[in-house]
Amino acid sequence: MFNLILFGPPGSGKGTQSEKLTVKYNLKHLSTGDLLRNEIQNNTPLGNEAQKHMNKGHLVPDEVVIGMISSALDSNPKCNGFLFDGFPRTAAQAKALDRLLELKNAPILAMLALEVSETELIKRLLKRGETSGRSDDNNDSIIRERIEEYHRKTTSVAEHYKQAKKVVMVKGEGSVDEIFAALCKEIDSRINTKA
């Protein structure tokens, strides 16, 4: 079993690349963004709480997100490994994930960090906002707030994994296939070293 974290600012392509990586490596995709949007769509109390934060471009409280991930891990005891997409996003989430994975004796193979310029991020998210129906994508100031929130609370998560020498920086600009090939090269070299 091996686990990967796909890391990067909003719009860096985490969701896009996760779809391809989970197929190639037979991993269970855990996107906290998708899990939260699912709760919102189902009009659950958790979804209603999450929506208030997401609509402002803010992160959802740690305890909500950690609880969701913990039950998703428990619901998939037999999978080949997990691809965490958009999680962890705070230092508290990173510590909680360490504890949860320790219990399963299933460490993180790598944190793959996508690097994309701010101009490109804003362009991509506004473009997605034209069709996605996502209220956090179609407003320039909410998008900027999401990027600010990333700098305030999320960039430090990479430091946590740098200490364990797990962080791999990958250029997130170029075609989807080029970026996918670069990610696979990094993953394969780590799987081969482990074997």
Out of 2, 22, 30, 33, the residue judged to bind ligand B4P by CB under 6 A: 33
Tell me: does residue 46 bind ligand B4P (CB under 6 A): no
How does DSSP classify residue 111? E
Give 177's contacts (C-beta < 8 A, 6+ positions apart). none
The distance of closest approach from Cβ of residue 160 to ligand B4P in the complex, given in angstroms and rounded to an integer, is 14
Tell me: does residue 129 bind ligand B4P (CB under 6 A): no
Instruction: Report the candidate in 126, 118, 173 with the shortest Cα–Cα distance to residue 147.
Output: 118
Tell me: does residue 157 bind ligand B4P (CB under 6 A): no
Out of 15, 47, 81, 107, the residue judged to bind ligand B4P by CB under 6 A: 15
The distance of closest approach from Cβ of residue 192 to ligand B4P in the complex, given in angstroms and rounded to an integer, is 26
Out of 2, 7, 14, 97, the residue judged to bind ligand B4P by CB under 6 A: 14
Instruction: Report the candidate in 8, 7, 11, 49 with the shortest Cα–Cα distance to residue 143.
Output: 11
Helix, strand, coil shares, percent, the chain, to 5 = 60, 15, 25
Whole-number Å distance between alpha carbons of 89 and 184: 23
Chain positions contacting ligand B4P, by CB under 6 A: 8, 10-16, 32-33, 36, 53-54, 59-60, 65, 86-87, 89, 93, 124, 128, 136, 146, 176, 179
